[in-house]
DNA sequence: GTGACTATTGATTGACGGGTCAATTAATCC
DNA sequence: GGATTAATTGACCCGTCAATCAATAGTCAC
């Protein structure tokens, strides 16, 4: 692979890990560079400034998530219920929790308070999640599609917040089940 | 009122507003002090250090929320359904969105990544919300109480995240309705 | 009024971190 | 294997900020 591409990747990975471990955006470029095994100056050479590095890390995480969902959907076939379950399961897949990704995720919401681009990226993620859910909800719940999709999406994000708070206490498996339970009820699958 | 008490209040209010407006914990003591109409040194006189000021602000916000819920419950009487609705409505009451409280809320999750006390406070909030919900869910859904309570709580927090992202786009009224819709379904109120 | 104590100020300190840049090293080409 | 270009370093500059502290203003008891 081209050296510069690899360098960028290393720096982005180091950024995510550093944010993840410290739980903060208060991370120095020096720390990130050291973790990537590189001098501080190089980070500026490749990304221009610190915010650009943060944004690149954000895009990377969102892309990973998007890929995870896409793969899960491909594996799920055509049945709407199976596809919905696949989206939820992919949202809580193990790799979403590696390398401090959750804490990074949380901090990206903070970044979005000051960075228009960060806000745009998160809004895009929201839209995609909503539209993914809506696509397979529509044949099942018709007019209630948007409302149900919003509810599921909200619950997924809320669960992530809990993860951010109790790094170890919450477990991915039951978290997914919990969202699926909401889905089952919305579909009227006789749990009431 | 005693002068020192008033000063503390002013400084705490200024802290919340400053965090709320900038959307970040990257707020200088100088900014906070200026907003409170006071010199920087005084903030240290009353709170010792910056983190203590942050924690005091956090306690203040959580206390306000707690009071809002308690008042709503008192007004709601004894009917479990009415009480549950009251909790949800209180969670999205207007005063929860004043003075940058939502952005502050979000940043407290970030603070909890590095401050044990902040984590403790947020965990306490989670527990109280859960137990409030569970208390009135139990007569309605029995064994499913904890699961349903967790779902509702997760959805409330998730909705707050949306608020944090789109300060104006999301509206409190429909947000509350959305959570109440989840509740209605969990109660089997024939929406499916 | 005087003295003793507290509240308050704001200048100052010292550490820290983003970003720059001249110098060095590595890679590439002819 | 020299010449040219690109990658990389790390010391340095400059602004910022938490925290301190000496000095002043205010308050109250007597």
Token representation of residue A110: 């903070």
- pLDDT (average), residues A55-61: 97
- Tell me which protein residue sits closest to nucleotide D20, measuring alpha carbon to C1': B41
DSSP B93: -
pLDDT at A188: 80
Structural domain includes residue A82: yes
pLDDT at B97: 85
Q: How far is B101 from chain A (nearest CA, A)?
A: 13
Nucleotide nearest to A41 (CA to C1'): D9
Structural domain includes residue A31: no
Nearest-angstrom CA–CA distance, B59 and B76: 25
How many domains does one find in chain B?
Answer: 1
Q: Nearest CA to B82 among B139, B146, B136? A: B136
Structural domain includes residue A46: no
In the predicted structure, residue B191 carries a pLDDT above the cut 70: no
Residue with tokens 């960060």: A118
Structural domain includes residue B30: no
Nearest-angstrom CA–CA distance, A4 and A10: 10
- pLDDT tens-digit readout, B56-97: 999 999 999 999 999 999 999 999 999 999 999 999 998 888
- pLDDT tens-digit readout, B126-171: 999 999 999 999 999 989 999 999 999 999 999 999 989 987 666 8
The reply to whether A171 has its C-beta less than 7 Å from any atom of strand D is: no
- pLDDT (average), residues A2-16: 92
In the predicted structure, residue A2 carries a pLDDT above the cut 80: no
Nearest-angstrom CA–CA distance, B92 and B170: 11
Q: Which domain holds residue A145?
A: 55-186
Q: Does A117 touch chain B (CB under 8 A)?
A: no
- pLDDT (average), residues B182-188: 87
Structural domain includes residue B52: no
User: Given an 8 Å threshold on Cβ–Cβ distance, is B24 in contact with A112?
Assistant: no
% of chain B surpassing 90 pLDDT: 79
CA-based R_g, chain A, Å = 18
Structural domain includes residue B120: yes
- pLDDT tens-digit readout, A155-186: 999 999 998 998 766 688 888 998 998 899 88
Question: Which residues have CB under 7 A from strand C?
Answer: A 27-30, 40-41, 44-45, 49-51; B 3-4, 7, 37-42, 45
Nearest-angstrom CA–CA distance, A90 and A95: 9
Nearest-angstrom CA–CA distance, B92 and B89: 5
A154 → closest Cβ in B113, B123, B158: B158
Structural domain includes residue B22: no
% of chain B surpassing 70 pLDDT: 96
Q: Nearest CA to A47 among A4, A108, A81? A: A4
Split at pLDDT 50, 70, 90, the class of B13 is very high
Which residues from A are below 8 Å from B23, CB to CB?
110, 113-114
Are residues B97 and A107 in contact, defined by beta-carbon separation less than 8 angstroms? no
pLDDT at B192: 43
In the predicted structure, residue A58 carries a pLDDT above the cut 80: yes
- pLDDT tens-digit readout, A131-143: 999 999 999 998 9
- pLDDT tens-digit readout, A87-96: 999 999 988 8
Q: Which helix (H) or strand (E) holds B156?
A: helix B145-165
Domain CATH code at residue A101:
1.10.357.10
Structural domain includes residue B68: yes
Quickly list DSSP for chain A.
--HHHHHHHHHHHHHHHHHHHHTSS---HHHHHHHTTS-HHHHHHHHSSHHHHHHHHHHHHHHHHHHHHHHHHHHH-S-HHHHHHHHHHHHT-GGGGGGGHHHHHHHHHHHTTT-HHHHHHHHHHHHHHHHHHHHHHHHHHGGGHHHHHHHHHHHHHHHHHHHHHSTTTS-HHHHHHHHHHHHHHHTT-S--
Token representation of residue B64: 């306000």
Which residues from A are below 8 Å from B106, CB to CB?
109-110, 113
pLDDT at B188: 80
């Amino acid at each position: 692979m081209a050296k510069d591409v690899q360098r960028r990747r290393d720096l982005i990975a180091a950024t995510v890990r550093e944010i993840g471990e410290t739980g903060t955006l208060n991370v120095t470029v020096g720390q990130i560079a050291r973790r990537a095994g590189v001098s501080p100056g190089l980070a500026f050479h490749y990304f221009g400034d610190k915010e650009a590095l943060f944004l690149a890390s954000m895009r990377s995480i969102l892309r990973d998530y998007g890929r995870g969902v896409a793969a899960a959907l491909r594996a799920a076939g055509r049945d709407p219920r199976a596809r919905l379950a696949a989206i939820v399961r992919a949202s809580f897949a193990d790799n979403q929790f590696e390398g401090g990704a959750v804490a990074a995720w949380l901090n990206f919401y903070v970044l979005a308070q000051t960075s228009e681009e960060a806000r745009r990226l998160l809004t895009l993620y929201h839209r995609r999640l909503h539209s993914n859910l809506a696509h397979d909800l529509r044949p099942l719940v018709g007019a209630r599609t948007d409302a149900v999709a919003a509810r599921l999406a909200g619950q997924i994000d809320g669960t992530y917040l809990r993860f951010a708070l109790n790094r170890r206490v919450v477990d991915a498996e039951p978290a997914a089940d919990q969202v699926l339970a909401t889905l089952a009820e919305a579909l009227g699958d006789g749990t009431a």
